[in-house]
Chain A
Amino acid sequence: MAAPLTLLLIVAVTIRAALFRSSLAELIAERVEVVSPITAWKRVVEGLALLDLGVSPYSGDVFHETPLIIYMFHFLVDYAEITFMVSLNTKRHFEAFFSLGALHFTGCSFLLGSILKFFYLLLKLSMASYLLNPFTILSCVAKSTCGLNNAVLALFFLSTIKGNVLLSAIFLCLATYQSIYPITLCAPAMLYFMQRVCISNGTVFSRSSLSVPDLTPNIGLFWYFFAEMFEHFRLFFLCVFQINVFFYTIPLSIKLKEHPVFLIFMQLAVISIFKSYPTVGDVALYLAFLPVWSHLHRCEQAHTWFWLTSFLLHKVFVFSMTRLFNFYLA
C-alpha cells in the first residue's frame, strides 16, 4: 500500500530537483502565469537585500509579502529549494487526510462496502494529481510563495477535519495573514465545527493588495481590465470585483450547509478565480482536490457543480490567454 505512494513521492521530488538545477528554473520563475507580484521569489530576495541595506522593505513598492516570510527566509534563504519541497511534502501528506475526511462527509452509501480499497485509490489519485500536476511543478520550481500558502491552507484543512478548533483557527489566521481571501473559509470551517458542536474563532490581519496597484499581467480577470480603465470608474469596478470574492460565501454556505467540506472546495475555487493576482499555484490547489469528488460522477447535482467550476475556469483561462497574447504580441 505504501510502496506506490512512496514511489510517487520519489518521482515528484526527482522531477523538481532536476528542474531546479536546470536552466529552465530561471525561465519559469519569470513567467507571469506562474508568479505574481505578491508571490514572486525575486521579490522576497529583494526584500531581504533591502533589509541588509538598512532600508525597510515596505518603504518601496516592490515587496508585498508578510513580515513572517521575511523572518523565515532570513534564515532559510540558502535552503530555499528544500523549504519549498518540504512544504510540498506537507501538502501531500495532508491531502491524504483531507480526502479521508471528505469521504466521511459525502454520505454516498454505496461506497461503504469497499471503503478501504477506495480510500487508497483516492489517496493515490489525489496525491498524483497534486504532485505530478504541471502547475504545482512549475510553481515549486519558480519558488513562488504560493506553495507556502497552499501548505498553510492544507494544514488548515487537516486541523479542521481532525476537529482541532485551535489549530484550525491558527492556520486560518496564518493563511489570511498572507492574503485576505481565506477569511471566507471561516464560514465553512464554522459550519463544520458547529456540526461537531464546536465554535471557532478567528482574527483578521488586513492587507493592502485589494486595490490592485500593480498592473503586471497575470492570468486573472483584473489586470487588463484595470490597465484600460479610466480613473473615474476605477474605484467602482474595484469594489465590484472584490465583492465577487466575498459575496458568494453566504449563499454557498446556505446551500451547502450539509457539505462543509465541499463548501471549502467551492470557496477555494471562487477565490482562485476572482483573486487579484492569481497564479497557476492557486489553480493547482483546488484541481488537486477534484479527484476527491470523482465518485460524484453519479450524483447529478454535484456533477453540475463540478462542470460549472471547470467551465468557468476554462473560460477564464482562455480569455486571459487571449488577452496575454494580445498584450505581448500587440
Chain B
Amino acid sequence: MAAHRCSWWSWLLILFSLSVFVVADIHETTPVNDHHGGVDHNAQTAEQTADQPAVEERRWEATEVKEAATVDAAADIQGTSAPETVVPSSVPQPKDDFQEELVIRPLHSGDIYASFQFRTLWDTDFMRENKVSHYRLFPKSLGQVISKFSVRELHISFTQGYWRTMQWGQPFIPSPPGAELWVWFQDSVTDVDATWKELTNVLSGIFCASLNFIDSTNTVQPSASFKPLGIGNVTDHSFVRYATLPREIVCTENLTPWKKLLPCGSKAGLAVLLKSEKLFHSSFHSQAVHIRSVCQDWQCKTTSWELRQTLNSVFDLHNSGQTKREWSLFKMFSRTLTEACPLASSSKLYIDITDNPQGEQFELSPATSLLSQAVVLGDRRTFSVYDLTQETTFGSVRSLNLLIRWKSNEGEMLRPLLHAERYVAGYGLQTGEIHTLMYNNHPYRSFPVLLLDSVPWYLRLYIHTLSVTSKGKDNKPSYIHYEPSKDRVKPHLLEMLIQLPPNSVTEVTVQFERALLKWTEYPPDPNHGFYVGSSVISSLVPSTVAMHTNSTQERPLFSSFFPCKEESSYFVRIYTEPLLVNLPTPDFSMPYNVICLTCTVVAVGYGSLYNLLTRSFQIEEPNPGLAKRIANVIRRMRGVPPL
C-alpha cells in the first residue's frame, strides 16, 4: 500500500516537472511574438483603425495557444516513443503567417473584376541540410518541391481567356493565356536542364495540368525580361527558365489542387467563394502560385519564404444574363461569406470606390465605415474595407453578401499608359509576318520597354527582315539579344530594349517561313493551327503618384506584389495575344502511294542503268521454221547453199 502510494507520488512529480519545462518554453517564445506584434503595431499607418491592436493581441494569443498545444502534443509523443531527433521545444518554432484578401473593382464596361490573394509567409530555410518536416500553414508539397529542386523563385499561372487592357485597365497580377511557368534556380544546381525537366513533371502532377509538354522546344532562357521578383541580385541568366503552353485549358481539375494548397482549404474564409461552376463562367479567369524569398525588415537581415496564391477573374455583365447593372457576391460566386479563415492573421475585402467618391455612381450595401488608400499601379486608389475577422461585418444574419448597385452610367476610363497588340500578316502557307504594336499613351514622357518573343522553331524567323518603326521613322533598339532556333531542339528567342516615344505607336515586324513537319509530328487536329506564345512586354512606366519603395511596410497584398525600386515609376508586365498559325499539311492519306511511286521511280532508274551497263548484244540467228529446216538439210545434202 505504501509502495503503491509512493509510485503514484513519483508519477505526479514527473508530470509536474514536464509541465514546468513546457511552460518555461512558452515563456521563451512569448517575448518573440509580442515583439513582432509590437513592431507591426508601430509600423501601421493611418490605414488601420483604433480597435485593431486589441484584436491583434488577441490573435497572437490564439496562435500561441495553438503552438503550445502542438508543442505539448509533440512532447508527449516524444516522451512515449524513442526520440531520435531533438525535441522541437528546444528549437525556436519558425513563425508563419497567413493573410487573405479579395479586391473587387467595378469596370467601366459593366463587368466586375475580382482578385483574390492568399499569402503565407514562413521564416524557414529550405536549403539547409536537415529537411524541414514540420509544416503548418505552408503546404508540404510545395515546400518539398522547393527543397528538392533548389528553387529560388517559382511562378506558375493558369489562365483562361485574354486580358483586355483597353477595356479593363491593368490587372494586379498579369498572366498570359494558357499555362506559364518561370523558375529561378539556386546557384548550387549543376544541371539546370535536367532539374527543370523533373520540376515540370512534378508540378504537372501537383496541379493536374499537362505541364509535361514543356520540353526544350518551348523553353527559353530570357536574359533580361524575367529578373527575380524577390530578393537576390543575380546576373547569371543560365539559372532561369521560362516556358509557356498557350494551348493549355484550365478547368476544375486545376482549381481543386490549387484550393487544397490553402491552409483553410475551401472550407472557411474567402476561399468558400471559389466554386467552379460560377468561376469558370467568366470572361477571364487566372489562378497562379508565386513563391519567392522576401525581406522581413528594412535592413534585410532575415529573409522568409513567401507563397502567394492569386486568382483573378472578370465577370461579364451580359454573359451572366442580368438586365440591370448590379453585382453581388451571390451573383458572382453563388455563395456568401460567413466567416474568416481562423488561421488567417488578416482577412479583408476591398472595394475600389475611387471613381465613386460621393456615392453618385454606385452604392454599396452593407455600408462600411472603414476606408483605406493604397498606391497601386501608379495611382492612388481609395477602397472601402470589410474586415472579415470582425464579427460585426457579418451583421445579424451572420453572412456578408456585398451588393453593388449602379445609379448612373457615366464616367470614362482612364486610358492605360502601355498597351500592346500582335497579329500575323501575309497570305498563303509559305511565309508570313508577325506584327507587334506597342502603344505609349503618355502625353509627354517616353519610357523603355523590354520585348520578349519566343517563337517555335517551325516558324523560321528571318532576323534580317526585323524592323522597328515609331511614328513612321526607324527606331533602332538599344539592346538586341537573339538566339536562333534549332530544328526540333529549341525555339527562337528575341529580346529587345526599345524606347517608346510619347503618345505614339511602335510597330515591330519580322518575317517568317513556315516549315513542313514530319508526318508524326502533327497533332491529331493539324488544321486547327499551331499556337505561338504571347510576347512579354516588361517596362517601368512613369507613375502619377510617388510609389512606396519599402517593401517590408505593412500594405495590402495587391499593392505589394511587384517590388518598387524607385518612386517615380512602377513595374508593368503586359502579355500580347497568342498567335494561331496554320502550317502546311501533307496529305495524310498518302503514305502508301508516295512510297510506291518513289520506289518505282528509283527502281526504274536503277533497272535501266543496270541494263545499260551490263547488257551486251550478241547476234543471234533467227530460228527457222520446221519446213525451212528440212529444206536446208536436203539442200546441204545436195551441196547447195542453204536458204
Contact = CB atoms under 8 A, between A and B. Distances in A.
A251 interface: yes
A194 interface: no
Nearest to A32: B430
B520 A230 contact: yes
Contacts of A330: 585-587
Contact of B460 (A62, A215, A226, A315): A62
Interface stretch (B1-9, B351-359, B438-446, B592-600): B592-600
B518 interface: yes
A327 B586 contact: yes
Nearest to B485: A60
A312 B484 CA distance: 40
Given A49-B463, A61-B486, A304-B612, A231 B587 contact: no
Contacts of B595: 225, 228-229
A308 interface: yes
Contacts of B520: 230-231
A59 B489 CA distance: 11
A214 B487 CA distance: 9
Contact of A228 (B430, B486, B586, B610): B586
B542 interface: no
B462 A42 contact: yes
A293 interface: no
B604 interface: yes
Contacts of B598: 221, 224-225
Nearest to A221: B598
A229 B517 CA distance: 11
Given A30-B430, A312-B605, A319-B601, A326 B464 contact: no
B135 interface: no
Given A215-B516, A216-B515, A228-B519, A312 B608 contact: yes
B433 to A, nearest CB: 14
User: By CB atoms of chain A within 10 A, which of B492, B598, B610 has the most?
Assistant: B598
Given A59-B486, A62-B484, A327-B584, A315 B604 contact: yes
A224 B519 contact: no
Interface string B458-481: 001011100000000000000010
Interface in B505-539: 515-520
Interface of B is mostly: mixed
Interface string A287-330: 00000000000000000110010011001100100010011001
B77 to A, nearest CB: 57
B516 A244 contact: no
Interface string B605-640: 110111011100000000000000000000000000
A55 B482 contact: yes
A55 B612 contact: no
B515 A227 contact: no
A199 B519 CA distance: 48
Nearest to A232: B520
B483 A55 contact: yes
A173 interface: no
A248 interface: yes
Contacts of A225: 594-595, 598
A227 B519 contact: yes
B257 interface: no
B303 interface: no
7 shortest interchain CB distances as A-B pairs: A60-B484, A49-B464, A228-B591, A215-B516, A61-B487, A330-B587, A225-B598
Given A42-B462, A312-B604, 8 more contacts: A46-B464, A60-B486, A227-B519, A244-B605, A305-B612, A316-B601, A326-B587, A327-B584
